[in-house]
Amino acid sequence: MKIICIGMNYAEHVRELPSVWDGKEQAIPQEPVFFIKPDTALLRNNDPFYIPDFSEDVQYECELVVRINRLCKGIEERFAHRCYEEVGLGIDFTARDLQRECKAKGRPWEIAKGFDHSAAVAPAFIPKTELPDVQNLRFSMDLNGERKQTGYTGDMIFSIDRIIAYVSRFVTLRIGDLLFTGTPVGVGQVHIGDRITAELEGRTMLDFDIK
């Protein structure tokens, strides 16, 4: 399986990017921006996240995660809703210092985004049928009990169906692939001893420690 991640999918987050990157304003993308993490990036079952020794600035990005449930190649947007039945939450851990370096040198982001255990995924997903419309979901992430991010999927620049249509033109999606749909505003650094909790529509989805 693979993990497809969307960047810059919430306008407020795009506006905060100069503060975490290089100070330069970022334009709202005209098409979805995506990158892929390998399966070795998965962190499951609320296992602790160990800060890797190669970064001084690992940051959390809490995101709605969609689990693909069929083979999707060149899917039209109007059929994309058939490609997933469950959604959950995840954390797209990012070595921000390495990402800044990669950006400055015009290099790919893999060392900053695709490292081991950089994709924490909720132990249980929720069937779409138990939730309001997927573009009408609220989620949040707390660090040590303090609210850091609140997301509303209606604020996505590109809807889940639009993303699936776009990505599946280039990359075939398979059963079990995970789609991280972008982070809302409020990204920040994690430290040893922190605890991350996250809720989707009032249900606790993530609860794990940073070590």
Binding mask 71-100 for Mg ion (x = CB under 5 A): ---------------------x--------
**Whose Cβ is closer to Mg ion: residue 70's or residue 98's?**
98
Binding mask 181-210 for Mg ion (x = CB under 5 A): --x---------------------------
**Whose Cβ is closer to Mg ion: residue 92's or residue 177's?**
92
Q: Which residue is nearest to Mg ion (CB)?
A: 92
Shortest distance, position 79 Cβ to Mg ion, whole Å: 26
Write down how long the chain is: 211
**1-32 exposure pattern, b = at least 16 Cβ within 10 A, e = fewer:** ebbbbbbbbbeebbebbeebeeeeeeeeeeeb
**133-165 exposure pattern, b = at least 16 Cβ within 10 A, e = fewer:** ebeebebbbbbeeeebbebebeebbbbbbbbbb
Cβ-Cβ contacts under 8 Å for 5 (sequence gap 6 or more): 34, 35, 36, 37, 63, 92, 113, 119, 179, 180, 182
Tell which positions 3-22 bind Mg ion, by CB under 5 A.
none
Q: Is residue 177 involved in binding Mg ion (CB under 5 A)?
A: no
Tell which positions 112-151 bind Mg ion, by CB under 5 A.
none
Q: Is residue 61 involved in binding Mg ion (CB under 5 A)?
A: yes
Residues in contact with Mg ion by CB under 5 A are 61, 92, 183
